[in-house]
Structure 1
Amino acid sequence: MQFLEPMGAWALLALAAVLAFYLLKRQYEERTVPSTYLWRMALRDESASRPLERLRRSLLLILQLLAAALFALALMRPALPGHTAGEFVIVLDASASMQAADETGRTRMEEARQRAEELVRGLNALDRVTVLRAGTNVDVLTSRADRQTAIAAIRAAQSGSGGARMEEALSLARAMAQEIEGLGICVFSDASIAPVEGASLYAVGAAAENRALVSLAVEETASGGRAVARVANYGAACEIQLEGYADGVLCDVRTAQAGAGETVSVSFDVPPGAQRVEARLANGGALALDDARWWRRAEDARRTVVLAGEGNLFLEAALALRADIDVVRASVEEAPAIEGAQLYIFDGVLPQTLPQSGSLLCVNPPEGADILGISVAGAQTPQGAVHAGDRFSENLSLAGVALRTYRPLSGGEVILLCGDDAIAAWAESGAQRAAVIGFDLSDSNLPVKYDFPVLMLQLLDALAPDASMGVADAVVGEAVPVTASARAEAVSVITPAGESVSLAPPFPAAPFTGADEVGEYALVETLPEGEERAWFAVYMPAAESDVRAVAEDAAQAGGGAVRAAGREMTMWAVLLLLAALMLEWWVSRREN
C-alpha cells in the first residue's frame, strides 16, 4: 500500500478531537427529580470529581474514531503499488495530425492531454515529471517538476501544424534515462514509435477519413482563368465538394468523384484579373489544416541591367533568357552613375569606382582588380581541366570545356576551377552581391556548351532575382531561403497573424525560420523607390493528412514499470467512510 497524498495524514488529528470530547468532564446544573430512578442516574453522572472523566467503553466512540480514520485515509489517497520509478518523462506528440477530430469534435491532442493528466494524477506525490512537446522543435515544458506543475504544462500544450521530431524527443529522454535510474518514459502519440527501452506508448485517436488539397495551379486565358486543384482522398470512395474563391468572393463550386485512396483533379473558373485565388474543400474530413490552397498573381516588376563593355553576343544572348530584364548599354564611365539598376555587368573593363548599390557581374576584369574581396591575378595558361566549385554547380557537367588563358581569382566562394585555380567566384558584402568570371568568353568554348545558359541563369537569378517567381511555397517547420534584391534596404516577412519578422539588415538576408503556421506570408523588400511584396504559402506536411491508421498502446522492454502508480483505493475509503457514518447515525439514534 502507498499513499498518493501523504499530507492528508494531518487529518488524523481528528481522532484526538473525538477523544477529547469524551474525556473532558461535562458540566451539570441542579434539578429536582420526582423519581429515585432518575436520582440514581444523576448520582452516576456526578460521580466524577476530576476535570477528566474515565473513558467508558462505547460503540458510538468506536464508530466515530473509525469515521475520522477513514476520512484521513481518503485524503491520503491510498493506492496499490504499481510503479518503481520516481522520475517520469511525458512526451506529447504535437504534429499536425494530432488536430484530427473525432465524431464528437474532440481532437487527438485533447485526448492526449486528458490521458497524460490522468497518468500524472496517479503518480506518487514525491515523483518528478519532465514534459516534452515534440513538434517541429522539441520543447521542454517542465523539467523534473511536481505533479501540479506538470499538469499545468500538459493542459497548456497545443498541437502544431507541422511534423513531430519524435526521434529527437526520445533521444533526449534516453539521455535522461542514462543519468536517472528507473526513469519512466511515456509517449502520447497517434503514430507508432521505434522500440525504446523503458518506454510506453499511449496511442490516442481513432482511425478517421480525411481529404486534402495537395496543389493548386492557375492558368490564365483570354476569357479569364482556370484553376486546377489536386485533391487526395484518404478514405472510402466519396464525392469531393470544392469551392473556388477569387479575391475573397465565391466564384465557383464543383464536385468530383474520388475513389478510395485516389487523388483527383478538380478545375473551376476564375474571373479575369483575379489577384488572389483560393480553393477550399467543403467536406474536408477529420483534419481542417489541409482544406485550403492559395495562389497569388506575381507582381510584374522589371529589372534594369546596365551592360558596359565593347559588346558580347554571348552575354546579350544570356540576358535575353529573362523576359523581365531591360538592358541599358553604357560606357564604363557612365555605368556607375546610372541609378536604380538591379545589376551592373562589366565585360573586360572596370570603372575606377564600383557602384555602391546593385549586383555586379564582372567578366575578364583587369589584373589587380578587387571586387568585393575577390582579387584578380595575372594571366596564366591552363594546366588542368575545368570543373565545378561549391556555388552554382547544379546541373553542370563542364565536359570538354577549354580555355586559352585565364586570370586566377582569390577570395569569395568558388564557382569554377581550372586545375587548382579558381576562375569564377562569388562574393557578398552587405546587400551587394558579385560574380567574377576570370577569363574572356571569346577565349573559351564554354559559351557554345549547354552548361553556359544553365550557369548564366543561375547567376542572373541570384544577382537580379525575378520578382515574378516570388518565393517558393514551403512546409511548416522548414527554413525558407530568401534572395533579396541587391538594392534592398530592409527585408522582412509578414506572417498570417500580421506579425512582421525582420530578416535584414544585416545583409545578406537570413533564411526565414518562422514558418510555424499554415497560411499566406508576404516577403517585403524596402527599396529606395518603395516596397515590393512577394507572396508565398506555407502548408502542413503531406504525410500528416493521412489519419486513417493509428498506433496501439505498447510497452517496450522495461516499460511495464512506468504505468500509473497502481490502482487507487480512494473510492473504497470514501465508501467505507459513508458506511461508518450511516452506522454511527443509527447507533446514536438507538441510544437516545
Structure 2
Amino acid sequence: MGIGSWAGLWFALGIPAILIMYLFKRKFIDTPVPSHLLWRRVLENTEANRPWQKLRSRLLMWLQLLAAAVLAFALMRPFLWAEAGSGGHLIVVADVSASMSARTGPGSGGKDPSGGETRLDEMKRRILEDTRQSDGGLTLIRMGAHPQVAASGTEDRGAWERAVEGLAPDYARTSYREAVSLASAVAEGQEDARIIVYTDGQWSEKTDGIPVSAPIEARRVGGTVYRNASVEQFGVDGGGRAVGVVANTGTEPLEAVVELSGDGRPQGSESLSLQPGERRTVTFDGAGAAEVYRLSLKGTPDDYAADDDAFAFPQSGGAVKALLLSDGNLFLEKALRLSGAEVTRLDLNGSVQGGGEGRSEGGLANGNSAVPPLPEARPDLVVVDGRLPDDLRSGEWGRLLNGAALWTIGGTDDPRQPADRRVTVSAHPVTRYLSLTEPYLGPLTEGRPAGLENIVTVGQRPAIAAGTENGRRTLWFGFNLQNGDLPLNSEFPVLVSNAVTWLTGGRGGGLGRAEAGAAVEVPIAAGAESAVWRPLQGTAFEAGDGAIPAETISDSAAAGSSPGEKSDSKNDPVPARPADNSPDLTGIPSSSQPAPNVPGLYAFEQAGTGLDDAPVYLLDVRPDASESAAPAEEGPAFGKGAENEAQAGGEAAPDRAAAGDSRGRLPLTLPLAALIAVIMLTEWGVYRRGRSI
C-alpha cells in the first residue's frame, strides 16, 4: 500500500475535536420531585451541566470518530500496488536512441551480428512479456529524434506486437524531454493511466523538471558491463598525413587495432591498449592519394559498433584540381579558372607554373629529356593542349595521368580543312546550352581515339568526341584552339565549364562530417529534378540499406509554418498552389538537407532531364557522440506532477522508478468514500432511535 498525498492527514485533527465536544457535552441529572409536569420541564432547562465529565462508551461517538478517521485517510489518496497489466491505460515509452543498438549478454563484445542480442532486442522482448496480461488500452511512443506515437490506445494484440517489433535504432540526437512530455499529454484524461519508460539509462538530458500527469516508472535495459572504443576525430591534410583520436568510452580495458584505408585499400594500422576513459591520438604519415579515407577499429571487443568508423576527404569543397599541359594558351587557362577549377600549368618547355605566367626554354618540347617534377596536388583533370610528350606517358607521370580524367586538344601535325563547314551539335552534357554555329574551328585532325562518341561534327568529320577510355572519362578536340576563333566566341567559357563538369564526373567533393539528422547545405545543380542519399560504406551500407530520397522544397515548406501552406487535415499539410507566374518547385531537391539517420559514408546524387553528370557530394554521417558514453549508474529521474506532488512540507511521494518497482497503483478513494457513506447512514439511524445519550 502507498499514500498519494500526506496533506490529507491534516483532516485527522477532527478526531480530537470530536472528543473535546463530548467532554464538554451538557449532562442532565435526573432528579424526581413532587411537582407538576410543567415544573419538571423548567428544571430540566435550567439544570446546570457538568463539564469535563468522564467519557463513556457511546455508539454515536464511535461512529463519528470512525467517519472522521476514514475521511482523513481518503483525503490522503491511498492506493494499493498491483502488478502491471491489471488494468487501465498503459503508455509505453521505448528508447530507440543510438546506444540501444549496443550488444549485451553473453554474446556481446564482438562485430559478429549473430553474437548476442542488442539492447533494443532485449527491450522488445521485455515489452511484449510485460504487456501480455494487460487488459486495457496500450500506447507505444517511440523515443527518438522526433517522438512518435507508434500505437495509440490499441487493444489489438497483433497490432501491438507489430508496432513493438517495428522499432529500429535512431542515431540522431534523442529528444528525451519531448518524449516524456508527449507521454504525459497522452496519459492526461485517461482513466488509471500509467507510464513505463524502457531505456538503457544513457540519457543526455535531465527530465526531473518535467511535470507528469500520471504515475511514471523506468525499467532498465542492458547490463552493467559496457565495452566500447570510439573514433572521435579524424582528418587528412594535403600532405597525406592522417590524424585520428580514439577513445575508450566503456567500463573495461580494451585492445584496439586502428586501420587506415584509402578508397578501400589498406594504408596502415596501429595497435592500441586503452584503459576506461583514456584517449589516444594516432598518426599515419605518407597516406597514398585517395578520394575517401577511412579510419576503422578492427578486432576490438566492442559492444557499440556505430562509432567505430570515420571518413575524411582530401578536399572539403567542390573545387576541381586541373593540370594544364600547354606551351601557353591564355584563353583556355582563363576559361578553366572561370569554371571554378584550381589550375596548375605545366609548360611543355619544362616548367611548372601555378599562376599560368612565364615559361622556360629547353624543356620537353625542345628535346630535353629531363622529366619535370610531379605537381604537389593529385589532379582530378588533365588538359593536354597539343601533343603529350612520350616521357610523360610512363613511370610516375603515367600513373598520375591515368588516374585522372583526360582532355586532349589537337596534337597532330597533319590537320586538314573540311570541305563542308556545316556544324552539327549532338545532345550531350558538354554541349548543353551551346549552338557552335558561328565560330570557325579550323583544320581537323584524324586521330580520334577509338570508343569515343562524336558530339560535334563539321561536315562529316568529327570535331569533338567524348566517352570513356581505359576506365576514365575522355574528351577529345580534333582541332587546335590557336587555328580558329572559338576562344574568342562568347560560348567558349560555357563550353569549358561544361567540359570540366562532365570530365570530373560531377565530383562535387566532400561535404565534411555531420551528425545524423542534422541540417546539411548541399549545392543543387541547375535542372536537378530529384536526388538521393546513397550509402557507400559504413553501417548503412553493411546493413544493405537502399538509397534514401532527398528532401524536396515542398517537403521543407510542409515541415515549416510558412503562410503559403494550407492543410486538408491536421497531419497532411499541402503547399498552396503557386501563382500563375511562379515556377512550380514541387519535387525539386532542397539545398538544406537533413543528414541520413544511419551512420556511414553517403553520396548525394542528383538527376534530371538532360542532367547526366550532376556533381556528386560525399558526406560522413556520425551518430550522436553522447550515445557512445557508458550508461549512468542511476536511471533517469522524472518530475512530479499533480498526481505525485505533496501538499505537506513540500515533500514528494517516493519515486518508484528509482526503487525499481514495476507495479501499478489501484486507488482506494472510491471504496473509502462508500464506507464513509455507510457510516453516516448508520449514525443517522442511531440518532433517530435516541441512543445518543
TM-score by length of 2: 0.43
TM-score by length of 1: 0.49
